[in-house]
Structure 1
Amino acid sequence: MSSRTSKVAILILVIVLVLGPAAYALSAADIYVPTSTYSDYNQAACRDHIKIGTIKHQPSDHVPDAVKVPKGNKFKFLLYASGYQHYQCKVGTQGQPGNWTFVGPVAYLINDIRHDSFENVCDRVAFHHLEKIDHISGVAWSGIIRRDHSTVVAKAVKTYPSPDGENNIPWLLAKANYNWGVGAFSDVTYIYRTKTYGGRAPPNEKCGAEFPDGYEYASPYKAQYWYYRHDIHLD
């Protein structure tokens, strides 16, 4: 590693340690692209002493009113995600323009960007994916560590444009529809996606021109996911 690279790395580390995990700036170089399914690592021996959700205090970052979690829910933990947002090209008929349809996410999640890495198999604690089982369909988060087999499936209920630019997918609030298994996601009620980077579909005019009908485009992205549960103290 060069002297200049070392100084930059040290500067980033100092910023993160002082300002906290929410201050970590996302860039294209940080995006980790999954190359296989989460099941490959579900029983990895290195996961024996790892748990999901080590950051249990909600960051002080401002949450826009449009995507605030309803009262009666309490912050549980946050995770960092890196992977793809998938879209499919649907070519229009009779001269109508094409458009991109959202297919689903494919991403790994880690506990803390300050000392965990997406490239390290043992640091990946969850998988973000599309779930389709019988009557259940939606985006899901599943534990992939040995002692956590929980899953939450949710649907977006509110969105907010990314303050960091239109090239980033919006921040959003998703409401849990289904939970199963024993673990970190078994009692999650809401998920807040924030600090997004990338993940947008190509312009619609490219669907049918540069990309054929049915083509699935994988757009790299990164984000934070904040998880909430029911606040039993308000009962």
Structure 2
Amino acid sequence: MLLRQNAKMAKTLVDTATGRPYLSAGVTLAPHNLSGHNVCAGASKGCAASCVLWFAGLRGTSTSRNAATRDTQWLFGHRRSFINQLNRDIANHVRRAERDQFVPVVRLNVASDLDWTDVIERWPGVQFYDYTKIRSRFASYLAGELPPNYALTFSRHERHHTATIASYLRRGGNVAQVFDVEYNPQCGRVGGAPRNGPHSWPTMAGDRWGQARHSSTVDRRPRRCCWFTLKG
């Protein structure tokens, strides 16, 4: 099984349209190039050195790390077999959600930043969501070029310029950022909140509301900064 729940995803969120809670599951690969395959093309030195999906909580155990590494090597070594299993897992996830009166949502990049368009397009009735640090992918999302059932949030690291973040917000995108702590001791702070003259944007506490909330999975409210504290 590739599609699993974890502590970061098991938050109780309710679909505002139906009143039903979400059932979220995701694929957790080994981040950056820790498996021998780079799954985070937009990673900076800071985020690679302090990835919460490798150093925080149960992700630091050998069992979790070995499973993530094994799944990543499966993807790159036997992609067709991997995709077939993933589609079976999504089908089972949808059936479970329907049986228990949940709304199914799926995050394919829990600890990676890969292009899953082919899988997402196969499941138009399922809501997918992710974070990305890849500017070209987020530009495609803002231009409406990605599947309509895919909600994407830009994840800022220490090398992203404030003006870039402000431009994403002006265009209706959502941004996640670590704040008020050192992003990584070797790299320093990420920087201040994006400003653009008289413009300002609402913020949400990501640690309180969880992954799907600010990724627009719930209500697709645009132009929000979601703030996280550093973990690990």
Report TM bin, short chain.
under 0.3
Q: Which structure: larger Rg?
A: 1
What TM-score results when the alignment is normalised by the length of structure 2? Answer: 0.27
Greater strand percent: which structure?
1
Greater helix percent: which structure?
2
